[in-house]
Amino acid sequence: MEIKNIGFVGTGVMGSSMARHLKNAGFNVSVYNRTKSKAQPLIDEGMRWCDTPAEAAKDADVVISIVGYPKDVEEVYLGDKGILSTKAGGIVIDMTTSSPTLAKKIYEAAKAKGVSSLDAPVSGGDLGAKNGTLAIMVGGDEAAFNDARPVFEAMGKTINFFGPAGSGQYTKMANQIAIAAGMLGVAEALFYAKRMGLDPQKVLETIETGAAGSWSLSNLGRRMLKEDYAPGFYIKHFIKDMRIAIESAEEAGLELPGLLKTKELYDILSDKGMDDNGTQAIIKWYLNQ
């Protein structure tokens, strides 16, 4: 399958960089975003504006979406002016972290129209999106995955196929579960170091080179120390992801106490009006003790 034209729905913190990489890779990119002003820099760079998701999908070989919540995904695909209201043939790829159950629903709706559907959530945050180094986890039909590989390669570095529809989302839930407890570990370590009279920056630079090293420690730990709470990934979206992970775990009869505790603390920050902070703002829970 030759892919030339891409419709891109959702040009937020992650989506803008991802759409830019696709254009730089030589694809013709059309964009839609609920708030047009957020897409204006991309329009100024030569991407075509579309008034609806349906318009973005109409002449596209591949349509990509990365929006906020499962309800947004459902509207973008299955709404009156959604992608599947006009799409016939080609591939649709939802890169939102969303519900595995919804991914399966969209897959079936797309299949009925002769459209291949992939769920392909990503990890790597705003830095991964900007640098084109995202980890991409894909579920759906393997033939469609193989056709779409050049598209994924323009945006990511680690790209893996995991199985039927929903598999990408299940993989992303595993990723978020690992991050959840890890975020508490990073915050607790730096908080502890500071309260014990150590230089937390020096502690970070030392322990990141050993067994405690992680992406969260090296990147978000530094933001914590600088009191930089700008979102690479919003607290409100992390809470959404944890909720989905908890629901899917409960469906499978699994107990995940680390995940439950992490969500409990982030819910406290949310109740204090911190939804639009980055996830590294969890350090505030400790500092405000």
Rounded CA gap, 173 and 64, in Å?
20
211 Cα distance to chain centroid: 27
Rounded CA gap, 27 and 118, in Å?
19
60 Cα distance to chain centroid: 22
Rounded CA gap, 139 and 121, in Å?
9
Mapping DSSP to helix (H, G, I), strand (E, B) and coil, where does residue 78 land? helix
Cα separations (Å) of 55 from 4, 44, 86, 132, 275? Answer: 16, 19, 8, 26, 31
Exactly one of 172, 202, 240, 284 is catalytic; name it: 172
| Whether residue 87 lies in the annotated active site | no
Long-range CB contacts for residues 18-25, cutoff 8 Å, separation at least 24: 18/64, 18/66, 18/95, 18/129, 18/134, 18/155, 19/47, 20/45, 21/132, 21/154, 21/155, 22/64, 22/151, 22/154, 22/155, 23/47, 24/154, 25/150, 25/154
Residue 200 phi, psi dihedral angles, 5° rounding: -65, -30
Cα separations (Å) of 263 from 130, 162, 188, 212? Answer: 27, 27, 15, 22
Catalytic residues: 172
